[in-house]
């Protein structure tokens, strides 16, 4: 394989694609779109195996369960006319559970590493966590400002901590045992559109305007700042081994860089539109990207 070579393009959606996620076994991709659908498709033959429809608005976030059997997605629910999160069977479309009653759009959903809980960040300024089996749970964090949009939530690799990021330029780390905030990283001067834990250490990467910062999640110490982009960064993702980061946004590039040194590795410029989502395949072989033109491109990552 050759780093940066385009493998294929998926054309299944009819409007902007807002989020994408690889199944943990690297066999499938789920994608959510402004066309009000979640599509699950096979990365080998690029055929859609299922299209999930229960919304009357855009689908802004999708997430696979750790066992590759379920998908969480969010949007304005057709029947209830409120923003909800659905858990459904990834291959039959059977709805398993529905969570929440959010006063704003859902920014992101994230499964805990053991698959027992789901965290939800909303544009109503809250982070909510629910037990997948019992359905019990609720708000564990509420922004002090109004509306305080929460754009991103992510679990640490061991499930002990949860990070949330908002339009206030604030990144907060919470203990998952009692949801006490233990660290607030507020040196960002711009909206934080995305924040991700490293796969194997207590590091967090978060994007701030044109920059991406990596910092120690427990001490708050800054570790690396990457400034390769010339326009706003909307999405970032760690490589499965934690050695590299891919970041993308309004400058229509995907940039790969070293997570320890901040050194640039590669820039992929195959897109013709701004980018809203990135996903690195769990086997480390590919990166998928999506954005304004409604396509999803899959390209080689090594």
pLDDT in tens, 14-46: 999 999 999 999 999 999 999 999 999 999 888
pLDDT in tens, 203-253: 999 998 899 999 999 998 999 999 999 999 999 999 999 999 999 989 999
299 Cβ partners below 8 Å, 6+ apart?
Answer: 4, 5, 6, 7, 268, 270, 286, 287, 289
> SS in 3 state form for 6-46?
EEEEECCCCCCEEEEEECCCCCEEEEEECCCCEEEEECCCC
Name which residue leads in pLDDT, 151 or 78: 151
List the single range of 17-31, 62-76, 93-107, 227-241 with lowest mean pLDDT: 93-107
pLDDT in tens, 276-297: 999 999 999 999 999 889 999 9
Domain 6-300 fold is Methylamine Dehydrogenase; Chain H (2.130.10)
In this prediction, residue 147 carries a pLDDT of 61
Query: Residue ranges of the domains in the chain?
Result: 6-300
In this prediction, residue 167 carries a pLDDT of 83
pLDDT in tens, 144-198: 766 678 999 999 999 999 999 988 788 999 999 899 888 887 667 788 999 999 9
Residue 121 CA, distance from chain mean position? 11
Mean pLDDT of the chain: 90
């Amino acid at each position: 394989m050759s780093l940066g070579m385009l493998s294929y393009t998926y054309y299944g959606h009819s409007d902007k694609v807002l989020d994408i996620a690889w199944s943990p076994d690297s066999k499938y991709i789920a994608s959510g779109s402004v066309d009000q659908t979640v599509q699950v498709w096979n990365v080998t033959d690029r055929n859609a195996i299922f299209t999930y429809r229960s919304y009357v608005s855009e689908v802004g976030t999708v997430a696979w369960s750790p066992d590759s059997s379920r998908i969480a997605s969010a949007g304005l629910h057709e029947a209830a006319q409120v923003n909800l999160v659905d858990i459904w069977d990834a291959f039959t479309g059977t709805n398993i559970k529905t969570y929440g009653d959010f006063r704003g759009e859902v920014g992101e959903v994230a499964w805990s590493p053991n698959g027992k809980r789901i965290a939800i960040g909303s544009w109503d300024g809250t982070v909510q966590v629910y037990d997948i089996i019992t359905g019990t749970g609720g708000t564990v964090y509420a922004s002090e400002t109004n509306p305080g949009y929460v754009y991103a939530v992510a679990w640490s690799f061991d499930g002990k901590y949860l990070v949330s990021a908002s339009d206030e330029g604030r990144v907060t780390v919470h203990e998952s045992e009692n949801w006490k905030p233990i660290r607030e990283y507020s040196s960002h001067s711009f909206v934080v559109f995305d924040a991700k834990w490293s796969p194997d250490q207590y590091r967090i990467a978060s994007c701030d305007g044109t920059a991406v910062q990596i910092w120690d999640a427990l001490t708050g110490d800054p570790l690396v700042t990457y400034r390769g982009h010339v326009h706003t960064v909307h999405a970032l993702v760690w490589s499965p081994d934690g050695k590299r980061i891919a970041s993308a946004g309004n400058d229509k590039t995907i940039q790969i860089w070293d997570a320890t040194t901040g050194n640039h590795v590669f820039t992929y410029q195959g897109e013709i539109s701004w980018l809203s989502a990135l996903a690195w395949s769990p086997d480390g072989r590919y990166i998928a990207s999506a954005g304004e033109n409604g396509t999803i491109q899959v390209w080689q990552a090594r």
